[in-house]
Amino acid sequence: GPAGEQLYQFYWATKQQTEKGPQDAISLEARYSLSEEKLLRSTVQCRELTVFVISEGSGVISDTQVTVLDCDSITQVKEKCIDAKYRTIPYSGRPTASDVDLELRLQSGARKLLLDLDQSSKHENGYWKQNTLAHYGIDNKAMLALVPRQTNSSYNLSLLSDRSDKSSSSFHNSPTLTRPFGTNSSNGHNKDTMRVFHLVRQQGEQDPQEKMMSEIYLTRLLHMKGILQKFIENLFEVVFSTSNRSVRLPACVKYMFDFLDDQAREHGIVDDDVVHAWKSNALPLRFWVNLIKNPDFIFDIPKPTKIEGSLNVVAQTLMDACSTQELHLTKDSPSSKLLFANDIDKYKTLVHNYYEDIAKLVRIPEADMNSFLLQESQSHQKNFTVYSSALNELYVYIAQNRDMIFEELSKNEYALHEALPERFQKMLDTMDVIPENNLINNGSLDNYNSKLTNPDYKMPLCPRCSKPVYFAERVTSLGKDWHRPCLRCENEKCAKTLAAGSHSEHEGKPYCNRCYGALFGPKGYGHGGTESHVFLNGSTGRVN
């Protein structure tokens, strides 16, 4: 719908503007940001370059034009090249930067492999500096190619020209490395833990003279806000509107808000701010704030870690717009609040009018709402499994408070009239039973109720606490059903809560992979070790 469209446009505009300036690949501090915490305060000189990514296949060669910065790390360049080359393909169908290598194609026909770290990387004041396009001397209109990454992260050195710097190991984009650059390294650092930086070193170790004055970087925050202002306002206007949309207001929103108004009248609550807070917590703060911070929940895009600082500022602004309290700002107030100080009253009015407009809409009868929910349930019957859905998450909460809920329903006149205590008990009886495997697979309730009448059925017992395990509370591992909190590392000093299939077994007891390696692995296999190891599912891997 229009709200989703505006949310995506806001996300894309934020991403594009952030990538127009330098961004540290490790700290994620950027020249263009709404977040003071994620603002790149150091002065970084850079040039914008236009490079071409060669596409080869079926005898057809076409070049994709990509705009990059000469201060970009090699991984950042790969990501920008992938975005451009596969722009018509959803993110889930694209290769990632870790799937491909980046090669420079020279006019002589030679190929040079570009890496974040290799034998040519510079060592400055105890830090290894990640390679950039400027480090390799890449100029405007250079020809690059994305090629499949070599097996086991070892690169085919025959692809390199005689002028290239060879490396027999690859490195992940991490501030701390424990693997050498190459077997022939003579720099004396190959066995040490190496600290890595891209544009700026760790906070506290940077030259204070390189820091900009606060007035300068606050101006940059305002500049970024000015660029994104229209996208933010378009998003807020469509979110908080009953008319500025191509589809009707969802019936569940009207029904829920009317329910909250009814509850206020029933309990004698006359303070409008209380009901306003209920509605804000029920919809914009619980739903829209989450989507603004995590647009990857609904769009096929990567997790937006590079721009999460800016997204969080906009989410905080929406939260402030939903508050009925006056904001008292001073020069010491957070920059995120100062940025939108002149706009917050307008946004508050949007929220207030939205709630009033919904209250004026025609009330939805109970029968119509029930019919609507039934239609929705039937139309999505095969899309989701019953027991891995929001229904099950609601049940987990209800099951923990079943006695109190049943008691309250039994005392409520409306609940008794609608037979809610009996319906509540029937729901508990249904959800408490472990379903058939085919039910979990297809999401259908066919033949499910037959389990209720089986006199031989017994609830499984948790192997740790020996109490019954209801389905909603269950996690299966080691051939047993556990309460979720009970499936934890057997090492008492760790006791980490485990997920099914993500741990190892020793004498029928679960251990996290790290503790298993330290306690039972080969000699020298300790915490953070890199020895190969057979996991519970029989596969081999490395302890992270």
Query: How far apart (Å, rounded) are the C-alpha atoms in residues 530 and 543?
Result: 6
pLDDT at residue 451, rounded to an integer:
44
Question: Quick check: is 483 in a domain?
Answer: no
pTM of whole model > 0.85? no
Which of 7, 21, 9 lies closest to 306, judged by CA?
A: 21
Residues 105 and 160 in one domain: yes
Q: What is the pLDDT of residues 376-396, one digit of tens each?
A: 888 877 766 555 567 777 888
Question: Quick check: is 208 in a domain?
Answer: no
Residues 237 and 362 in one domain: yes
Name the β-bridge partners of 532.
542
- Within 10 angstroms of residue 182's Cβ, the number of other Cβ atoms is 16
Q: Sort strands 540-542 and 532-534 into parallel, antiparallel or unpaired.
A: antiparallel
The last residue of a domain, from among 143, 167, 198: 198
DSSP 8-state class, residue 363? P
Residues 221 and 363 in one domain: yes
Which of 69, 54, 173 lies closest to 103, judged by CA?
A: 54
3-state helix, strand, coil in the chain (%, to 5): 40, 15, 40
Residues 302 and 413 in one domain: no
The last residue of a domain, from among 333, 367, 401: 367
Instruction: Note the Cα 22 to chain centre separation in Å.
Output: 23
Residues 510 and 445 in one domain: no
Residues 130 and 100 in one domain: yes
Domain count, the chain: 4
Q: Return phi, psi of residue 103, to 5°.
A: -115, 140
Residues 236 and 131 in one domain: no
pLDDT at residue 543, rounded to an integer:
37
Which of 1, 4, 8, 3 lies closest to 304, judged by CA?
A: 8
Question: Quick check: is 448 in a domain?
Answer: yes
Q: What is the pLDDT of residues 143-185, one digit of tens each?
A: 999 999 876 443 333 333 333 333 333 333 434 433 335 433 3
The last residue of a domain, from among 404, 433, 453: 453
Domain with residue 331: its CATH number is: 1.10.506.10
Query: How far apart (Å, rounded) are the C-alpha atoms in residues 173 and 98?
Result: 10
Which of 101, 112, 159 lies closest to 136, judged by CA?
A: 112
pLDDT at residue 434, rounded to an integer:
54
Q: Beginning with the edge strand found earlier in the chain, give each strand of the sheet holding 60-69 in spatial order.
A: 60-69, 48-57, 143-148, 100-105, 111-114
Domain with residue 193: its CATH number is: 3.10.20.90
Question: Quick check: is 465 in a domain?
Answer: no
Question: Quick check: is 519 in a domain?
Answer: yes
Instruction: Tell me which residues of the chain have a pLDDT lower than 70.
Output: 56-62, 151-193, 203-215, 244-246, 383-389, 433-459, 470-473, 500-502, 522-544
pLDDT at residue 383, rounded to an integer:
67
Residues 246 and 344 in one domain: yes
What is residue 276's three-state secondary structure? helix
Residues 67 and 191 in one domain: yes
Question: Quick check: is 35 in a domain?
Answer: no
Q: By residue range, what is the domain housing residue 219?
A: 214-367
pLDDT at residue 473, rounded to an integer:
65
pLDDT at residue 522, rounded to an integer:
64
Question: Quick check: is 446 in a domain?
Answer: yes
Question: Quick check: is 204 in a domain?
Answer: no
Q: Write the CA distances from 358 to 114, 191, 280, 350, 435, integer angstroms.
A: 57, 66, 13, 12, 40
Residues 304 and 278 in one domain: yes
Residues 349 and 388 in one domain: no
Residues 55 and 131 in one domain: yes
Query: How far apart (Å, rounded) are the C-alpha atoms in residues 459 and 352?
Result: 50
Which of 34, 19, 30 lies closest to 334, judged by CA?
A: 34
